[in-house]
Chain A
Amino acid sequence: MKDEAFYRWITFLKKIRFGWLAPFFLLLKGEDPKTQCKAIFSGVMMPIFSILLFLWIWDLASKEIVTKFGTVPGPRQVWSAWKSLGNETRLERIKALEHQHRAREKRIVSAKKYKEVLNNFPGEMPTGLLSPGTEDALSTSSDAFQQANELLEVYNKISITLSKEEAQSVAALFQYETSRQYAEKVIQQALPLEIRHRERVEALRMAPEWNPSPDDPDKVVESKSALKKSESKKLAREKAILLIERQRYATEATKAAYALITSLPKSVRTLLAQSDKSASKLYPELKAWHENLLAEEAATGVKYAGKVKLKMLVKAFEYKPYPGKDTYFAQIATSLKTVFFGFCIASLIAIPIGIICGLSPNMNNAINPLIQIFKPVSPLAWLPIVMILVGALYVSDDPMFELSFLNSAITVALCSLWPTLVNTSLGVSSTDKDIMNVAKVLKLGWYKKVTKVIIPSAMPLIFTGLRLSLGVGWMVLIAAEMLAQNPGLGKFVWDMFQNGSSETLSMIMVAVFTIGIIGFMLDTIMLSLQELVSFD
């Protein structure tokens, strides 16, 4: 029985494309070691070997080619660029935490101040005005006063929670400060090293490029150019190495700071998040109170002291997200979101149409020419049309999606629609004839026939279509993002290409690998799903 579960697990592994792990388990189980070793060799060692070979050839080749951005980055430079992107992300997170923390501080301060004002409020309350309509004014003003008192109550609630938070966070804040100090210390430690490296670069740069030999001028010229060539190559390599070194120090420093911040009691971050959450909840309430009071004031002509401070309080409770720039991982997330959104639109359109086409040959013949015409259209041709149409049709004061996001998502949908459509219709129309006869003999109704017989039998092909669609969508996305300026991987590549720094090439290569690996992962996931729904 246990054996059966084990072999089911092995089959499952193979289904989800982790079949290369199977020989290890089988080896542990004590199956024929020779066969398993052979399987490990071909399934695990060979891919690793080819990857290593690729890296080695790349490393060798990269040293030989010099472009205007320096030498072509080798695997090590790309790895370091990848690390620096991680570093940037950590820094951004630290900054975001700081931002949250500062907002919270501001909230506490302005709430405290306003509490004071409210406490002294009755004293400053005007007792009456002698102009006509005094009584009205009085009554309204007393209404306003009552409102103010209610506000006070609400505020008391807030302040109680705030002071609790405050008490909780004192210790946490202290730790946060120390962590910052520590991080700075690490950076300080790293600094002299970097300075030393810079000096070395400078020295190398300033070093005489050649030693002329006075005897033979011709030889001198020759050796000069040769020397210059070799020196510049050396310098470029040195520079690349230094870049990596610098990256390493910076990464270490931020890592330390980040580690300290993340190792803080979770309470700090939850506190900050809570503060943001409660603030965003209270904000509309406070704003309404404030506007009400202003209106009352306008009606009665009564001046409230602390009005300005109420405004401050309202403003402090407004939730403002950290306005930092998008990190690499945020860009990856945007890309994934875009591709999934587009893929979902495509599937929602393609699967029903595919089913209809598969069910009725007439429909299929009617729609087929359209499919054949639109299928080969490149995303670059769709995008301008999509941009114009979306720009014209999607007009909203408070848009749920950004235009660039919609543009690239719809372009992805338009391009990835077709494989699902074609495969679904093929799957539906190729339902086994005998199975259809079974449905006929059982007198299944149309709906039951479609849901219980036709769609399940078309499932493997539908999933094949979905898998192809997702692959196409991911490929198209990068181009669409580049053009639509949607903050994703495509834009990252474009920005890197535009800024032309010494890291341009390695950053783009990081993006290439990221795109490749994510595409591979998406494909694997879809392939596993496809395997899991197939019934053979």
Chain B
Amino acid sequence: MKPLISLEGVSKSFGSGQQKTNVLSNIQLEIKEGEFVAIVGYSGSGKTTLISILAGLIHPDKGVAMYREHPIREPDPGRALVFQNYSLLPWLSVWDNLALAVNQVFPHWSTSKREEHINHYLDMVRLTPAKRKRPSELSGGMRQRVALARALAIDPEVLLLDEPLGALDALTRGNLQEEIARIWSENKKTVVLITNDVDEGILLADRVIPLTRGPEATLGQPIHINLPRPRNRKELNHDASFKDFRKRIIESLMHEGRQPSTTTVRRTFVLPNILPEDLNAPGTFRFGRRSPVRHEEFKQEPLEIEI
């Protein structure tokens, strides 16, 4: 079977000249249709760059990103993106946020069909009671559910999730993980999840791929998670294979990545030539008659600081 999405030798750098940083280098990735792939990596390792390439928001410098055997040139509603910070339009209600997307993607549908569609997805993320509220009136978890519903409502072939739960507290995160698992089992869409949470990857994905530490991050050896679904978080915590997966992923993240970029630099700082005020100076003070001794007392000493 041909892969739905493939990245072949993709590299991306930002800036130019001295400031140039190679974020991604030589990324190889193949994603089959209906697969749930999690890409796990440190924060700042270029995960968002990777998913932006998949979405078509940015283009690789080297290599090609293919979608259904065509190079990805521009964003497409077929590859819906869910952002870490929800990106809901704050001036629209939950309903209108969905309606904007649905009206854009299905303009030929009748109004009643569109409404039904929106209601279906609001119901799926259990937000029907809040449909008239604005994003600012919702909690973070609810907002992310709206963003998820919006992405699902345009009926994409691929769902790209860019650290969707990154900004949420642990409890909400757990609930939403279950929700995502449930929704995936209902829809069976192709999902690419980007996360920094190893457990989240194991819980949700068919395949976890570690992304090494940047700069010049690249993908490590994929790890197939063959745990039976539905997976229960509490039970998994005591599951031996789960622990094994976690160990392998963490090891792969630790070892395949180069040493963290904490090289020691020695620099010499010369402290400014300021004489501290001598608080115990003699009481009788006159202009121009400072004691010459004090100048000798404070010698300039270079200070070495390790960074």
Q: Footprint of B on A, CB under 8 Å? A: 432, 434-435, 437-438, 440-444, 448, 452-453, 456-457, 459, 535-536
CB distance from B28 to the nearest CB of A (A): 25
A435 and B87 contact, CB distance less than 8 A: yes
A441 to B87, CA, bound (A): 12
A442 and B101 contact, CB distance less than 8 A: yes
Indicate whether B9 reaches chain A with its CB closer than 8 angstroms: no
A440 to B101, CA, bound (A): 11
CB distance from A451 to the nearest CB of B (A): 11
Q: A440-B75, A442-B104 are in contact. Are A456 and B83 (CB under 8 A)?
A: no
Q: Which residue of A lies closest to B80 (CB)?
A: A441
Q: A448-B104, A456-B89, A459-B91 are in contact. Are A535 and B83 (CB under 8 A)?
A: no
A456 to B96, CA, bound (A): 13
Q: List 18 A-B contacts (CB under 8 A).
A: A432-B87, A434-B83, A434-B85, A435-B87, A437-B81, A438-B87, A440-B75, A441-B57, A441-B75, A442-B100, A443-B75, A444-B104, A457-B90, A457-B91, A535-B90, A535-B91, A535-B134, A535-B136
A434 to B76, CA, bound (A): 15
A272 to B187, CA, bound (A): 76
Chain B residue contacts of A434, Cβ below 8 A: 83, 85, 87
CB-CB nearest 5 A-B residue pairs: A434-B87, A535-B91, A535-B90, A441-B75, A440-B75
Interface residues of B in 77-93 (CB under 8 A from A): 77, 79-81, 83, 85, 87, 89-92
| Secondary structure class of chain B's binding surface, majority of residues | loop
A437 and B83 contact, CB distance less than 8 A: yes
| Secondary structure class of chain A's binding surface, majority of residues | helix
Q: Which residue of A lies closest to B102 (CB)?
A: A442
B77 and A443 contact, CB distance less than 8 A: yes
A452 to B77, CA, bound (A): 17
Chain A residue contacts of B100, Cβ below 8 A: 442, 452
A441 to B55, CA, bound (A): 8
B91 and A437 contact, CB distance less than 8 A: no
Chain A residue contacts of B83, Cβ below 8 A: 434, 437-438
Indicate whether B105 reaches chain A with its CB closer than 8 angstroms: yes
Q: Which residue of B lies closest to A440 (CB)?
A: B75
Indicate whether B154 reaches chain A with its CB closer than 8 angstroms: yes
A246 to B77, CA, bound (A): 79
B87 and A442 contact, CB distance less than 8 A: no
CB distance from A444 to the nearest CB of B (A): 6
Chain B residue contacts of A457, Cβ below 8 A: 89-91
Q: Which residue of A lies closest to B104 (CB)?
A: A442
Interface residues of B in 248-276 (CB under 8 A from A): none
A441 and B134 contact, CB distance less than 8 A: no
Chain B residue contacts of A441, Cβ below 8 A: 55, 57, 75-77, 79-81
B76 and A443 contact, CB distance less than 8 A: yes
Q: Which residue of B lies closest to A438 (CB)?
A: B87
Chain A residue contacts of B136, Cβ below 8 A: 535-536
Chain A residue contacts of B77, Cβ below 8 A: 441-443
CB distance from B160 to the nearest CB of A (A): 9
For the A-B complex with A438-B81, A441-B79 known, give 11 more contacts whose Cβ atoms are closer than 8 Å: A434-B83, A437-B57, A437-B75, A441-B77, A441-B81, A448-B104, A452-B100, A456-B92, A459-B91, A535-B136, A536-B136
CB distance from A104 to the nearest CB of B (A): 55
A442 and B105 contact, CB distance less than 8 A: yes
CB distance from A460 to the nearest CB of B (A): 9
Chain A residue contacts of B81, Cβ below 8 A: 437-438, 441
A435 to B57, CA, bound (A): 13
Chain B residue contacts of A452, Cβ below 8 A: 100
A434 to B57, CA, bound (A): 11
Of B91, B92, B104, the contact of A443 (CB 8 Å cutoff) = B104
A441 to B75, CA, bound (A): 5
CB distance from A207 to the nearest CB of B (A): 68
CB distance from A511 to the nearest CB of B (A): 41
Chain A residue contacts of B134, Cβ below 8 A: 535
B91 and A456 contact, CB distance less than 8 A: yes
Q: Which residue of A lies closest to B150 (CB)?
A: A438
CB distance from A458 to the nearest CB of B (A): 10
Among A434, A453, A459, find the residue whose CB has the most chain B CB atoms closer than 10 A: A434
Chain A residue contacts of B101, Cβ below 8 A: 442
Q: Which residue of A lies closest to B97 (CB)?
A: A438
A453 to B100, CA, bound (A): 10
CB distance from A462 to the nearest CB of B (A): 12
A434 to B74, CA, bound (A): 16
A284 to B32, CA, bound (A): 84
Chain B residue contacts of A443, Cβ below 8 A: 74-77, 104
Interface residues of B in 47-100 (CB under 8 A from A): 55, 57, 74-77, 79-81, 83, 85, 87, 89-92, 100
A442 and B154 contact, CB distance less than 8 A: yes
A434 to B101, CA, bound (A): 15
Chain A residue contacts of B154, Cβ below 8 A: 442
A536 to B91, CA, bound (A): 8
Chain A residue contacts of B76, Cβ below 8 A: 441, 443
Q: Which residue of A lies closest to B57 (CB)?
A: A437
A536 to B136, CA, bound (A): 6
CB distance from B192 to the nearest CB of A (A): 14
A83 to B81, CA, bound (A): 67
Chain A residue contacts of B75, Cβ below 8 A: 437, 440-441, 443
A435 to B75, CA, bound (A): 14
Of B87, B89, B104, the contact of A437 (CB 8 Å cutoff) = B87
A536 and B90 contact, CB distance less than 8 A: yes
A453 to B81, CA, bound (A): 17
Chain B residue contacts of A442, Cβ below 8 A: 77, 100-101, 104-105, 154
A535 to B101, CA, bound (A): 20
A435 and B89 contact, CB distance less than 8 A: yes
CB distance from B161 to the nearest CB of A (A): 13
CB distance from B203 to the nearest CB of A (A): 26
Q: Which residue of B lies closest to A534 (CB)?
A: B91
Chain A residue contacts of B92, Cβ below 8 A: 456
Chain B residue contacts of A432, Cβ below 8 A: 87
Contact with A along B121-154 (1 / 0, CB 8 A): 0000000000000101000000000000000001
Chain A residue contacts of B104, Cβ below 8 A: 442-444, 448
CB distance from A532 to the nearest CB of B (A): 11
A463 to B90, CA, bound (A): 17
A440 and B57 contact, CB distance less than 8 A: yes
CB distance from B84 to the nearest CB of A (A): 9
Chain A residue contacts of B105, Cβ below 8 A: 442
A432 to B135, CA, bound (A): 15
Chain B residue contacts of A459, Cβ below 8 A: 91
CB distance from A147 to the nearest CB of B (A): 62
Q: Which residue of B lies closest to A442 (CB)?
A: B104
A453 to B90, CA, bound (A): 10
Among A434, A438, A441, A448, find the residue whose CB has the most chain B CB atoms closer than 10 A: A441
